Structure 1
Amino acid sequence: MRSQEALTNAAKLTSYSAGLQVLFRLLSFLLNAYTLRYVSKETIGIVNVRLTLLYSTVVFLAREAFRKACLNVGVEQKWAQVINLLWLTVPLGVLWSLLLGWVWLHLVTTPDPALIPHYEVGVAAFGLSAIVELLSEPLWILAQVHMLVRLKVIAESLAIVAKCVLTVLCITIVPHWGLYIFSVAQLLYSGCLLTCYVLYFMKYIGSQEAQRKSFPLSTVSDVLPKYHCNQPIIDLRLAVLTWSFYKQSFLKQILTEGERYVMTFLNVLNFGDQGVYDVVNNLGSLVARFMFLPIEESFYVFFVKVLERGKDIGHQKQEDVSMAANVLEMLMKLMMLIGLTITVFGYSYSHLALNIYGGSMLSLGPGPTLLRCYCVYVLLLAINGVTECFTFAAMSKEEVDRYNFMMLALSLTFLGFSYCLTWWQGGVGFILANCLNMGLRITHSLQYISRYFKHSKSQPLKGLLIPGPLLLVYLGSGTVTALSQATLSEQCLMSQLVHVLLGALCLSITLVTIFFTEPRLVWFVRTQFLSQGKKEM
């Protein structure tokens, strides 16, 4: 069955993404912890906030709309037209890189050259890195649509590891290079990513495996843009849909990276405070990168394959609609429980985590408060990810266009809240503004899902309901670990060990309670995620 095959492929892709990314990103996480002890807060603020924002903005604005539109195509699509459309990401990337590079050099506050030299080199390198990465975009889309599940994870993981290893080696051996180190490492990341995709498809295209899977390209040159007689250069339907998503991408980027734009353009925090905020943000979002993002990307592909975009559910295969509703309910339940677990236990272990990760630079000052607030934000992030994943997969073009106007209002509201709350509460204000913004986005997605299944027997929103016994366990665990943190964790190594053991005990009780109160979720995870990993071993 088409829907069952799509579900299996989505679960397999998620298993690879979550499993391998945990392995490789854990290595980069440890290497970054080492880096924190040799780099100033100001340098971290410039690299991780200012320069990374330049890179992510160029990449997002150049490719996000194309991904949203082109991931919905079928294997029977005329891929020559799709590939021609995808290659437009490169000139767009060049345009945005030049424009934003000029802004970063002339319209925002630049660091003192005596304190942080080579800022101009960093801007040029991060802009060039974005362009290099965009060269692999047609290959990325081909890999996703045809479920080449290993390629994406291995390529990205190898690139991240290479970047982190080079950074640590250079910081240890030639720390006086400053921003040169991070510039070269960023270019290495993009170069590794592009090389992995090119080498894989050079071997894969024309192989027996490709022929067996009816891969649409027969030669490596088919990946390049071409003109075919008596055919449009690009798929006009996809181009129109891409434009709809493109208008939305500006607003979504502001919502995604809004606090960094406020920091960069309004200078509400100094570079040192920006560095601390970014480290806490990265630490707090580990689970989002490890698990939430792979699930969202993989099951977006599942929903667009199973559901017909913009069609009422009464005019679709009821078997597919029922499966989509069941999967959505289970995903919402899974994300809800993961987010709730992080929120409950994150409050009591934020100080200890920051002290282990970055030493007194992070654990003294606003760091622990920032991380505790971020744990609440992770819960909202988890729910929003899966609800928007479904919403964007099911929306028609007209609904996407209407949603763009709402995104504009959300963007302006978010920026206003970020500016005001940051002047009031510093870095915590950014997180509070993010929570308000995420709450509004969740509300919209829940309303859409409710209307979508209004005339169906399926009720996927039940996935947000938590059984009473499990809520009591969460409340008890939060109380015990909070008391433990207040009385034990600040005193000595033995007290910290007792604090950790109490947390492990409470977490074990929570997981056992989930096992007995949520049998459907346990079955879903076991059959769709864990079994996929075993089959591939």
Structure 2
Amino acid sequence: MAPAAADQLQVMASGFTKLMVSQLATRLVTFSMNLLVARQLSPEAYGLSAVQFHLITTTILFLSREGFRRGGLRIQEQTGKEGSTTVAERVLRVSWPILPIGLVLSTAVCAFVLWRSAAQGGDAQYQQAVVAHGVAAVLELCSEPLYIISSTRLEFGRRAGIDTAAMITKCGVTLLLVLNGSLHPALVFAASQLAFSCVVLGGYLAYGAQLWSQGQLKVHSWRLDSEDRQTLAITGLFSIQAAEKLLLAEGSKLALVALESGYNQGVYGLVANLGSLVVRLLFTPVEEAAFTAFSRAGLGAAAEPSARGPLAQVLTVAVKAVGLLGLLALSFGPFYSYTLLRVVYSQRWSETEAPFVLGCYTAYLLLLAVNGITEAFVHAVLDPSALKAANALLVVFTAAHVLCSVVLVKAGGAAGLVLADTLNMSLRIAFSLWYIRCYFSKVPGFSTRQLLPSSQVLLACGLVSGCLAASNSHFMASQQLVLHGFWRQAALHVGVGVCCLAALLMRILKAERGTLAQVAGLRRKQE
């Protein structure tokens, strides 16, 4: 492997491993908390946190900071004579607008939600919780400049520690208050979100104090130079793109809130939290680490198209790795969704439409995994003019997604929502693949077909899915459950799954030995 490719893959593997460890700890705690909370709350109450409050927080945070996060990663250590100190200074100069922007957005979003709640006769506890979520978002945004500095310095371990502490605190507060039962559910979720934001802010303030004591946070001048203005310009483009991506990612949930009952919101919220456990544990860390690696490698390769070979190698390994994980979810998820929900959340949830929706969501995970890497690559290497063109295309995708969401949510409820998201993700992947093919057109021997797993793996996944479909139809049929009991039939069905998983993993190890060897080699270097 070329040295440049190895260096960038090592950056990605290092960041992914540290973030994955954090995600593993936090998501296992989150899963346990969601399990206990879901058993205590009605679907309507559960939908408050999983859908409505999630939309409030995500809208404020994503619009305020996403563009600055992506633009800030393009600040290089070579931009000044003082090394990393200059990087921190530049980050502070260009990222401070996050705070006033976040304050304005928080006020606007909360005011709109409160106005809508008042028009629908919402209760006072819900309105208080909305305000608390707005305050929590602003508190979290106060840490953002220091977060960006940490990211530019590739300090993934620090971020992992802060995220873990914050999520565990949030889970603990939620569980204690729910079990106590003295607070309205909306206020319980508000208190836990405030606790989360306070821990995040406290963690990054401690990091800032450390940098200050080392003399690395001194800003000698707040006047913007040409490089700062260039960073702000591309940050603006990323921010526009963030707004479009927000509608793409959350537009279907907005349609769900506007058109569906609180019960259906709760069902979708349960499925999304369960299904996204894999996303947050594996896909999000590798996407963020990959974007950092692509940003650093892409700047050097942009001027010399003939030097893009190592970058193509990085992309191929990353897409194949997440694609294999997504294929596992697609092969097993639809046939074990009912069993999982009945075991974990009880028959109360398994007899709703949640198993069918969860099965659809596991199929959607494959597209989500691939899009996370391909889109991270495209955003990392686009120049300003290409970013403008990409933003214009995202407007078209956004309009199509919102329209599909309204139509499909009306027709299919929560399952229609997942279908709308699937169509949206397919469009985004198609654009990314087109750009990737153009970007690497001068790299000898490169083809987008290289991003796919081998035909042997695809065939094996198809055979496993057929076997599991037959097992699910036979062992988990209603008459079989009545005749023999759930636990006996579930054990037999799971036994078939274990055998299929072992066979599939053996086939993957044999067919994708080269890809797995590269990942394993990077892990050994990192250790």
Task: Give the TM-score taking structure 1 as reference length.
Answer: 0.90
Whether 1:339 and 2:346 are equivalent positions in the alignment is no
Q: In the alignment, is the contact (CA less than 8 A) between 1:470 and 1:514 conserved in 2?
A: yes
- Equivalent residues of 2:331, 2:465 under 8 A apart: yes
Match of 1:210 in 2: none
Q: Secondary structure at the match of 2:40?
A: coil
Please name the residue that 1:279 is paired with: 270
Q: CA separation of 1:462/1:234 partners in 2, compared to 1, >3 Å: closer, same or farther?
A: closer
Given that 1:326 and 1:460 are in contact with CA atoms closer than 8 Å, whether structure 2 keeps it comes out as no
Matches within 5 A, 1:293-304: 293-304=284-295
The separation in 1 between residues aligned to 2:419 and 2:144, in whole angstroms, is: 35
1:249 equivalent to 2:242? Answer yes
Counterpart contact for 2:13–2:519, Cα < 8 Å: no
Report the Cα distance in structure 2 between the residues aligned to 1:285 and 1:252, rounded to whole angstroms.
Answer: 18
The answer to whether the 8 A contact 2:317-2:515 is kept is: yes
Rate the CA distance shift 1:401–1:39 in 2: closer, same or farther, 3 A. same
Question: How far apart are 1:176 and its partner, in Å?
Answer: 3.9
Greater helix share, structure number? 2
* Distance 1:147-1:520 versus aligned 2 partners, 3 A rule: same
1:170–1:423 Cα change, 3 Å: same
| Residue equivalent to 1:121 | 128
Contact preservation (8 Å) 1:14, 1:298: yes
SS for the counterpart of 2:76 is: coil
Match of 1:63 in 2: 65
**What is the CA deviation profile of residues 367-399 of structure 1, one whole-angstrom value per residue up to 9, with x for unaligned ones?**
011011111111111111111111111111001
Specify every segment of 5 or more residues in structure 1 that has no aligned partner in the other structure, as ranges. Answer: 208-217
Q: Which amino acid aligns with 2:236?
A: W
Deviation at 1:292, TM superposition (A): 0.8
Does 1:397 find its partner at 2:406? no
**Structure 1 residues 234 and 306, CA, compared in 2 at 3 Å: closer, same or farther?**
closer
Are the equivalent residues in 1 in contact too, given 2:21–2:160 (CA < 8 A)? no
Aligned residue among 155, 170, 191 for 1:148: 155
Q: CA deviation at 1:235?
A: 1.2
> Is 1:84–1:234's contact at 8 Å kept on the other side of the alignment?
no
Give 1:369's aligned amino acid: F
* Structure 1 residue 137 corresponds to structure 2 residue 139: no
| Residues 1:505 and 2:499 aligned together | yes
Structure 2 unpaired stretches of 5+: 80-85
Q: Is the 8 A contact 1:307 1:394 kept in 2?
A: yes
The percent identity for this pair of structures is 27
2:187 pairs with 1:180 = yes
The aligned amino acid for 1:121 is Q
Alpha-carbon separation, structure 2, partners of 1:109 and 1:442: 40
How far apart, in 1, do the equivalents of 2:226 and 2:145 lie?
15
In 1, the alpha carbon distance for the partners of 2:97 and 2:486 equals 58
- Contact 1:31-1:164 at 8 Å conserved across structures: yes
Match of 1:443 in 2: 430
Whole-Å Cα distance in 1 between the matches of residues 154 and 310 of structure 2? 20
Q: Mark the CA change 1:231 to 1:409 in structure 2 (over 3 Å): closer, same or farther.
A: closer
> CA 1:109 to 1:377, structure 2 compared with 1: closer, same or farther past 3 Å?
farther
- In 2: Cα distance, 1:488 partner to 1:109 partner: 50
- Size of the aligned set, in residue pairs, is 511
Tell me how far apart the structure 2 counterparts of residues 429 and 324 of structure 1 sit (CA, whole Å). Answer: 38
User: 228, 235, 241: which is aligned to 2:228?
Assistant: 235
Change in 2 beyond 3 A, CA 1:230/1:148: closer
Q: CA 1:508–1:117 in structure 2 vs 1: closer, same or farther (change >3 Å)?
A: farther
Is this contact kept in 1: 2:322–2:370, CA < 8 A?
Answer: yes
Do the aligned residues in 1 keep the contact of 2:453 with 2:512 (CA within 8 Å)?
A: no
Query: Which residue pairs with 1:305 in the alignment?
Result: 296
Residue 158 in structure 1 maps to residue 151 in structure 2: no
Say if 1:385 and 1:494 are closer, same or farther in 2 by CA, change over 3 A. Answer: same
Q: Which amino acid aligns with 1:518?
A: E
Bigger CA drift: 477-486 or 510-519?
Answer: 477-486
Pick closer, same or farther for the CA change 1:32–1:117 going to 2, 3 Å: farther
Q: CA RMSD in A?
A: 2.1
Letter in 2 for 1:37: R
Partner AA of 2:271 in structure 1? V
Please, what TM-score do these two structures have when normalized by structure 2? 0.92
Say yes or no: does 1:520 pair with 2:514. yes
